[in-house]
Amino acid sequence: MMLFTKRLLVFSLAILLFGAIPQDTNAQQTLNDVKKERGLTDTDVLAATKTFMPRGGRDEYFGFVGTGNSGTMAVYGIPSMRIYKYVGVFSPEPWQGYGFDDESTLMLKKGSLDNRLYKYGDMRYPALAETNGKYNGMYLFYSDGANSRIALLGLDDFETKQVLMHPLFVNAYPGVAVTENTEYVIQTSQYPTPWDGMAADVNADFDSKFKSGVTFWKFVDTEDEAGTGHHIGRMIKEESFTLELPPYSLDFFDAGRMGSYGYVVGLASKGGKNYVYIVDFKTLSTLSTKPVNDFAVVSLKDALAANAVAMIELPTAAKSVKVNPDGKYFITAADESFVFDFAKVKDAFTNKTYTGNADGGIPVIDNAAVKHGSIKLGNGVMDVVFEYRPGIVYSSAFNDKKVIRWNYETMKIEDELALSFKPGQLMVPQGLSAEPHSNYLTVVDKEGLYDNLAEIGPVRPSYQHLIDISSDQMSDIYTMSIPQANLYGSVAVLRTTIKPIIRYPLGTNTRTGEISIYKTVAGQEKIEREGNRVHIFGTMIRSHITPEIVEVNEGDIVTFHLTNLERAEDETHGFTIDTYGKHGSFEPGKTASLTFTADRPGVFPYYCTEFCSALHLEMEGILLIKPKGYKGKKGAVEIVLTDAELQGYKKNYEDKLEVIAATQDVINSVVTFLKENNYQDYPYVEALVVDAFDQLGQAASSKEKHEKYAAEGKWKDAFLWAEQYWQYQVKTADVGLRAKKLLEEKISE
């Protein structure tokens, strides 16, 4: 066990009191010195100041981008472009135990074919949940093109909550869209395949047996019945349906809103012809369905009879099609981009002014009759995105290395920004909602061939550039690298729209949102055995894993059910069993389980993998797996300390008491200051003070324990519980000092 010296303790306290940062050694250097030294221009400095995040600052937007075939999602801030988190979605992700603990593994297996655990996905274009066409900050959806799955993420904890396998599609388009109140999450196929899982001849049977489709996953947002205060949204497979389409290759799509609510528009191609398909799902949802592979299907025949699907032919393939914020138009991204008018499209449906049929008998609406206008934008036009100014839209021209600002009402180009790279997908925060909100545009750069990036071998990360679009002069102000990613689309929302939680209600199964039946509270830890099935109900709190010793027999099926008892901010514990490949992450309040067969006898330490406190190495225990026929000592293994070790712990304990007293002095002085200056008059300060004392409120039982063990001469336990008590004190002091600093700032304002 790690011995903690007094000097280190005092040093830790010094850091707490005075800050770990060395004094500003560059104070003499001026901005001009740095500019000169680094060869920076005024433009460079201006760009840097637009993205620099000062202490106390917060990013204005949360950005979400899928990592493509890595199967994870990166969360980042705009304008700082700092990555906050990678979230496992379609791939196992060890840091958060995703696909490692029983809860997430079960979720992933239920959402796969034949119970297999896929190790990757292909996720490109996410959609945020909407209320009245605006982002509500609660959920996010992804489609897995490679393994035909769909995922729901909760944004109160930034975790994946549901993964479903598509019952019909063998592959899916790796993008999703939602209807304006998230009634449905829409997913389509990409490449046509037979639906019945049977072999078919790709030439002879293509038109008869291969199909494509558009699926409407019913989404229901319910208040959590366990009373945890969180919403638990779910896609309901039994209430979802798929529209059967002829074997077209399907590409990007979007959903109408407001005036165009009820329509889905997307790109389709077949036999060298390119179309925008238009689907009227309001009508589709009233039609009768027949089950295919236990999933409701609206047949093409019925959809055609109900006049619920049509096509508009395009002269060339488009790369994207998006509905504008107020839902009046949909716009294609192509060298010649088309702006189509939904009102005219509706008239064409109503009056059936079709000019003929596309493959599969789908009626074709005359392009000229429904377009608002078209415009030649450049070469290799990839994407289109909206901003808050009415009529303004941006397009990327890959081959021309430029971003074009144009007006889709007047059909005129307003401005262009020449770039040093070939631009791909575009994103303006909230630009895919009814409420675009930003002066920022992000642009994907797949090649990363520039002059300010280091070479790192054949595979490079993807890049996103941040473009300032606030003025007439657009400017490229930041290059962000996103490692382990193959970037496509992204979405972003005002940071304040999302309300992240700090801790879970104690015992939460974070995947279901329910209180786990395996929740364990302090003092209730136990090991239960029935035949060869062993359940360990354990707890984790600085700096203990309880129980510390577990004995099982070779061949037993063992489950560790662990609950993190912490109530403090950011006190996550990890848990791993050496060489067993079992790992979990336990955020404050979370309960998760790790099941394995004890098929390898021996002694296996288990420990906390997070740096949860200075004493986190004390969070360890021993799993003894007794080989068949093992004749060991009966009963629990006792670890006997030598006299020297015992005295060492006694000394540590006594040192700790001194540190505890010194820390208490700090807390007392902070409390005096806060009270004398009426902290309760300042809501933010008051909130910090409440949090600080919540920490100290947790400490009482640790104090009782260290005093009890000290009285019994059990110095190791006394020291560990004293350390625990001190951890709470440190948290209290830390939050208290932040409150004091804030109060000082408020007073001086």
The minimum distance between CB 586 and Cu ion, in angstroms, equals 8
The minimum distance between CB 613 and Cu ion, in angstroms, equals 7
Q: Of 357, 194, 338, which Cα lies nearest the Cα of 265?
A: 338
Between 619 and 699, whose beta carbon lies closer to Cu ion? 619
Torsion sign (Cα): 224, 230, 231, 233: negative
Contacting range for Cu ion; rule: CB under 5 A; set: 10-18, 101-109, 406-414, 571-579:
571-579
Between 148 and 585, whose beta carbon lies closer to Cu ion? 585
| Residue 615 binds to Cu ion (criterion: CB under 5 A) | no
The site that binds Cu ion (CB under 5 A) totals a number of residues, namely 5
Contacting range for Cu ion; rule: CB under 5 A; set: 337-345, 422-430, 512-520, 613-621:
613-621
Contacting range for Cu ion; rule: CB under 5 A; set: 146-154, 214-222, 287-295, 610-618:
610-618
Between CA 188 and CA 228 the distance in angstroms is 34
- H or E segment and range at residue 513: none
Contacting range for Cu ion; rule: CB under 5 A; set: 235-243, 295-303, 552-560, 600-608:
600-608
Return the DSSP state at 112: S
Between CA 729 and CA 12 the distance in angstroms is 13
The minimum distance between CB 612 and Cu ion, in angstroms, equals 3
| Residue 731 binds to Cu ion (criterion: CB under 5 A) | no
Contacting range for Cu ion; rule: CB under 5 A; set: 226-234, 569-577, 651-659, 664-672:
569-577
First-last CA distance in the chain: 49
HSE-CB at 618 with a 13 A cutoff on CA atoms is: 20
| Residue 534 binds to Cu ion (criterion: CB under 5 A) | no
| Residue 541 binds to Cu ion (criterion: CB under 5 A) | no
Between 561 and 573, whose beta carbon lies closer to Cu ion? 573
The minimum distance between CB 605 and Cu ion, in angstroms, equals 14
Contacting range for Cu ion; rule: CB under 5 A; set: 114-122, 286-294, 483-491, 565-573:
565-573
The minimum distance between CB 103 and Cu ion, in angstroms, equals 19
| Residue 612 binds to Cu ion (criterion: CB under 5 A) | yes
The minimum distance between CB 546 and Cu ion, in angstroms, equals 12
The minimum distance between CB 536 and Cu ion, in angstroms, equals 17
E strand intervals along 4-111: 61-66, 72-78, 83-88
Between 91 and 613, whose beta carbon lies closer to Cu ion? 613
Between 567 and 573, whose beta carbon lies closer to Cu ion? 573
| Residue 608 binds to Cu ion (criterion: CB under 5 A) | yes
The minimum distance between CB 448 and Cu ion, in angstroms, equals 38
DSSP secondary structure string, 614-637?
TTGGG-EEEEEEEPTT----SS--
Residues 6 or more apart whose CB falls under 8 angstroms from that of 430 comprise 134, 135, 436, 437, 438, 492, 493, 494
The minimum distance between CB 702 and Cu ion, in angstroms, equals 15
- H or E segment and range at residue 465: strand 462-468
Contacting range for Cu ion; rule: CB under 5 A; set: 165-173, 174-182, 407-415, 609-617:
609-617
What dihedral angle (degrees, nearest 10) is formed by the CA atoms of 519, 525, 529, 533?
40
Between 209 and 573, whose beta carbon lies closer to Cu ion? 573
Between 75 and 619, whose beta carbon lies closer to Cu ion? 619
Site string for Cu ion, 699-728 (x = CB under 5 A): ------------------------------
Between 11 and 611, whose beta carbon lies closer to Cu ion? 611
Between 442 and 564, whose beta carbon lies closer to Cu ion? 564
The minimum distance between CB 571 and Cu ion, in angstroms, equals 8
| Residue 619 binds to Cu ion (criterion: CB under 5 A) | yes
Are the C-beta atoms of 487 and 65 separated by less than 8 Å? Answer: yes
Between 480 and 545, whose beta carbon lies closer to Cu ion? 545
Are the C-beta atoms of 219 and 234 separated by less than 8 Å? Answer: yes
Sites for Cu ion among residues 238-297 (CB under 5 A):
none
Over the range 233-247, which residues count as b (16 or more CB within 10 Å of their CB) and which as e? bbbebeebbbbbbbb
Residue corresponding to tokens 């250097």:
29
| Residue 614 binds to Cu ion (criterion: CB under 5 A) | no
The minimum distance between CB 573 and Cu ion, in angstroms, equals 4
Contacting range for Cu ion; rule: CB under 5 A; set: 91-99, 252-260, 528-536, 573-581:
573-581
The minimum distance between CB 611 and Cu ion, in angstroms, equals 8
Q: Of 386, 378, 423, which Cα lies nearest the Cα of 408?
A: 386
Between CA 12 and CA 20 the distance in angstroms is 9
Kindly report the backbone phi and psi dihedral angles of residue 315, in degrees, each rounded to the nearest multiple of 5, phi listed first.
-65, -35
The minimum distance between CB 572 and Cu ion, in angstroms, equals 8
Q: Of 98, 92, 58, 95, which Cα lies nearest the Cα of 78?
A: 58
Between CA 588 and CA 507 the distance in angstroms is 9
Are the C-beta atoms of 558 and 582 separated by less than 8 Å? Answer: no
Tell which phi-psi region holds residue 495, choosing left (phi > 0), alpha (psi between -120 and 50) or beta. Answer: alpha
Contacting range for Cu ion; rule: CB under 5 A; set: 10-18, 182-190, 380-388, 611-619:
611-619
Contacting range for Cu ion; rule: CB under 5 A; set: 278-286, 498-506, 520-528, 567-575:
567-575
Q: Helices 643-676 and 6-18, interaxial angle, to 10°?
A: 20
| Residue 590 binds to Cu ion (criterion: CB under 5 A) | no
Q: Of 559, 610, 621, 603, which Cα lies nearest the Cα of 588?
A: 610
Pull the structure tokens for residue 393.
């839209």
Pull the structure tokens for residue 527.
């090991």
Site string for Cu ion, 442-481 (x = CB under 5 A): ----------------------------------------
Among 573, 706, 731, 740, binds Cu ion (CB under 5 A): 573
Site string for Cu ion, 102-121 (x = CB under 5 A): --------------------
The minimum distance between CB 619 and Cu ion, in angstroms, equals 4
Over the range 485-517, which residues count as b (16 or more CB within 10 Å of their CB) and which as e? bbbbbbbbbbbebbeebebbbbbbbbbbbbbbe
Between 157 and 618, whose beta carbon lies closer to Cu ion? 618
Between CA 562 and CA 586 the distance in angstroms is 8
The minimum distance between CB 593 and Cu ion, in angstroms, equals 18
E strand intervals along 227-319: 231-245, 249-255, 263-270, 273-280, 290-292, 295-298, 309-314
Are the C-beta atoms of 434 and 132 separated by less than 8 Å? Answer: yes
The minimum distance between CB 642 and Cu ion, in angstroms, equals 27
Between 319 and 583, whose beta carbon lies closer to Cu ion? 583
Pairing between β-strand 362-365 and β-strand 309-314 as defined by DSSP bridges = parallel
| Residue 616 binds to Cu ion (criterion: CB under 5 A) | yes
Between 324 and 539, whose beta carbon lies closer to Cu ion? 539
Sites of contact with Cu ion (CB under 5 A): 573, 608, 612, 616, 619
